[in-house]
Chain A
Amino acid sequence: MPANLQPPDPEQLAMAVRGGERAALAAALNLLDDKRPASRSSAIALMTELQTGQAAKNSRLIGITGPPGAGKSSLTAALISVWRQRGLSIGVLAVDPSSPISGGALLGDRLRMKTSSEDDAVFVRSLACRGQFGGLSAEVWPMSLVMLAAFDITLIETVGVGQREIDVADMCDTTCYVAQPGSGDSVQFLKAGILEVPHILVVNKEDMGAVARRTLSELGAAMSREHSEGNWTVPVLSASATNGSGIEALADVMEQHHKVLREQGLIKQRRQHYQGKWILKRLRDEFGSNGLTRLGGTDSILDQLQAHSSTLFEHYEALRQRLL
């Protein structure tokens, strides 16, 4: 009988994931994607296992977002090589759009990220957004738990964002917005208050010269540099994924932001905050606002989740069962 007919044992799987075993990582990610009932309950158990162990590892969760073609994947590739030189391991979750007609997708980010095929310290999983979750896909967050357990850095690339798809900033510790030179979009977003969210702004393709410099100065000028979370001045950087310029500086700034968050104890807080939001969102997607009302409303659900923080996912499953 093929091995994938039976869901793997969550406890063993979690251990192998923490050990960075690639076959286990792949199996864990597959499991979290799997909607069959038997798989779902193993997935819940796996997430609980991973959650309890997570605090131990000082791993970082970074989001990269920006318009289509700005160079998110190319910058990711460039960052990976800098991080590898610094001895860090990296897991990437890259999200691409799905076809609204067929549900199919072309997962193209990986092509740009191809680094060394022999390097066990890099693992890339592509995901189709499957029409949901503001530039991400519903599976991204659970999958990020797997990556966080195995790698020093977990990086999430969103689909090319339109305007409202800012979920990634809620989910990640550090969010970096990649701007495309010469496109007024980024400046527009900024004025509309959308670009308040990222912690780092980078204008890619500085090798394009004048047009990149112009965008850089426009963004610099339009930007309210104090981040709403406080204690962080949003840097506006210039880089070129093609030439490799500015990548070290970008990696440095990401590290600084991580330090600031850690010093203020914000990492745990942010991640917990997102867990609740994610569960709410999933419940809403599955059962509509009506469902949420039947469970006592948003605030009450969040309170309940808070109270059950050690068995969060079991509780989520219990809530689902009440509605099913």
Chain B
Amino acid sequence: MNQETVKRDRPWLMRTYSGHSSAKASNELYRVNLSKGQTGLSVAFDLPTQTGYDSDHPLARGEVGKVGVPIDHIGDMEALFDQIPLGQMNTSMTINATAPWLLALYVAVAERQGVDPAQLQGTTQNDVLKEYLSRGTYIFPPEPSVRLTTDLIAYTVENIPKWNPTNICSYHLQEAGATPTQELAYALSTAIAILDAVKASGQIPQERFQDVVGRISFFVNAGIRFVEETCKLRAFNRMWDAMAEQRYGVADPKKRRFRYGVQVNSLGLTESQPENNVQRIVLEMLAVTLSKNTRARAIQLPAWNEALGLPRPWDQQWALRMQQVLALETDLLEYGDLLDGSPVIEAKVQELIAGAEAEMARVADQGGMVQAIESGYVKRELVQSHTLRMRNIESGELKIVGVNCFEQTAESPLTAGTDSGIMKVDVQAEHDQIAGLQAFRAARDQQAVDKALMQLQEAAAGGGNIMPSSIECARAGVTTGEWSEVLREVFGEYRAPTGIDISMAGQTDSAAMDAVRAQVRSTGEELGRPLRLLIGKPGLDGHSNGAEQIAVKGRDAGFEIVYEGIRLTPAQIARAAQEEGVHLIGLSVLSGSHLELVEDIHAELEKIGAGAIPLVIGGIIPEDDARKLKAQGVQAVFTPKDVDMNAIMTTMVGVIRSANGLEA
């Protein structure tokens, strides 16, 4: 048959989640990516931008331009989209607590490019509820956060009709350990919380409410159990359609469609034998493309070196090529739905729906998603699921090739290069960004800034929609930190439940665990009191999985654990360690700022006379850096390949013993 005559579906949007160092460097990267056939942009912001701090704020030290692009003001945003016509671009921004602000900057840049904001297309992630559960870049308490979310939704439905104002995210829940049922239940419960809030805000007339529902899109995960994952998406499809119709009275079936983008699972990507990640990524992509009726709208894939560090342009290109091969070389897009009518698939879908509905009912009984988050319930459920997953990996029940089976490997040429196979962000970038920010501040019209901030304050405190005054702030040259500070003053800040206070039920005890407990107990006896461990998450890093798992395991091993959640300053960690009289500090840092943070914590400990407390660290720590940290006095460094948690506990006991002069 002639190729030309076959009718093929249009492929999904292909994106690469990227951004680093500076707006200028990221802009160059975006333009190269677009020229390689990428069809949309997906912006990664750095952590200060996501948590509302300017690049020169003390908390931003070591984080500027590391895991994304720093955006301090309209000048940065303009540079980010230089020569990229916003009228034709579809831009996805992974931005949450500061979403109204980044959208305001985007609108202001469009104006400067002469583009009518009403034409803009793209997505603001704008789902703060999952930030409390997994992603960690929340700022304000849940109530004002939901209000900001609804303000943005109401504003775009009226003024930027093609914008996707929120991406309800189940992606991050799976990355924090969620099962498919939990992903379904918590994402849909979040959608209910948000839609109910939009309705209650009275900003959208009743007859237009179906436009709101029609603009809601989702961001989901696809794990390695790809058959079940396909079924999960079919379940999503059906449950969302039913909810839109029954709960929100949306008559138009088009406005009830489950529209979603995907990033495939990264939690299961390994540091050991990282080349195997390529197979995993491709199989996971099948889950969200196989079935035509539930195919993803947009896909972004992680790279083979996900667990090693940030991807280089070549690594990202490889990931993009995986999508292109599937869409363009295979015959996937030539057929109707492949799975409709399969009784096996149907049974699994039914099972998932039943499980999700039961869990949604439990959430509703507690008053809804916001309440179930505030009480710690949902977070505990997630930590419990993740603990189970970790135990199954440890016991070998859950097989991970190259990690707990077939560990032997020939040497990999992929990681043999001089750059260790990952991208290194230029250390000069932070310095340059700060200099640029300070020059920008000096040159702007301060009166206009003050006036805009005053209006913002009035809108925040008074309850008017936050968007118009935010856009005015963007035009006037307000900075990210200033915008956020005004809202911090009005709304206050928040610390989310850690979820580690889970029960011991279902615990599988092993001889190895007993041996660890005996070590912990006897060392405690030798030192006169039970061993105490402080687990610290310094800096802006929100990756809490590792810290949570170490905390739960540590408690089970007999440690008394102090863990106060994410985003602490070095000073807070040092003081807590002293006040609590701990035998050991264990840091967890995955954001890449470990060198700066460890240096600061050492200094703080010395300053308060607690320099004798030994320190270990875990996270994404390249080998070179591990060596540097050890030279700085860090006693042990753990990375994702250390999946034997009993061994980690034993090492920690050993560190405590040697710090206290006990023999090994």
Contact = CB atoms under 8 A, between A and B. Distances in A.
Contacts of A125: 579-581
B569 interface: yes
Contacts of B580: 107, 110, 124-126
A217 B565 CA distance: 37
Contacts of B189: none
B520 to A, nearest CB: 8
A123 B571 CA distance: 14
A114 B551 CA distance: 19
A39 B92 CA distance: 61
Contact of B572 (A104, A105, A114): A114
B24 interface: no
A148 interface: no
Chain B contact residues, majority secondary structure? loop
Contacts of A123: 579
A23 B504 contact: no
B556 A99 contact: yes
Nearest to A37: B528
**Interface hub of B375, B554, B565, B575 (most chain A Cβ within 10 A):** B575
Interface stretch (B10-18, B207-215, B494-502, B629-637): B494-502
B504 A101 contact: yes
Given A4-B660, A125-B581, A107 B495 contact: no
A103 interface: yes
B571 A2 contact: no
A106 interface: yes
A26 B613 CA distance: 12
Contacts of A117: 569, 571-572, 575
Chain A contact residues, majority secondary structure? mixed
Contacts of A36: 527-528
A163 to B, nearest CB: 21
B581 A35 contact: no
Contacts of A101: 504, 507, 556
A126 B579 CA distance: 9
Given A111-B495, A111-B565, A103 B529 contact: no
B529 A30 contact: yes
Given A99-B504, A111-B564, A104 B555 contact: yes
B576 interface: yes
Contacts of B661: 1-2, 5
A34 interface: yes
A114 B564 contact: yes
Contacts of B431: none
B578 A22 contact: yes
Nearest to A127: B560
Given A30-B529, A128-B530, A22 B579 contact: yes
Contact of B556 (A1, A104, A108): A104
B440 interface: no
**Interface hub of B504, B557, B561 (most chain A Cβ within 10 A):** B561
A290 interface: no
Contacts of B318: none
Contacts of B569: 117
Contacts of A111: 495, 498, 563-565
A125 B572 CA distance: 14
Contacts of A69: 375
B249 interface: no
B659 interface: yes
B147 interface: no
28 contacts: A2-B612, A2-B661, A22-B608, A23-B610, A26-B610, A36-B527, A36-B528, A39-B528, A69-B375, A101-B556, A102-B558, A103-B517, A103-B530, A104-B554, A104-B557, A104-B559, A104-B561, A106-B555, A108-B498, A110-B562, A110-B576, A111-B495, A111-B498, A117-B569, A118-B571, A123-B579, A124-B579, A126-B562
Interface of B: 375, 495, 498, 500-501, 504, 507, 517, 520-521, 525, 527-530, 551, 554-565, 569, 571-572, 575-576, 578-581, 608-610, 612, 659-661
Closest 7 CB pairs of A and B: A34-B528, A23-B609, A104-B555, A36-B528, A117-B572, A33-B529, A30-B581
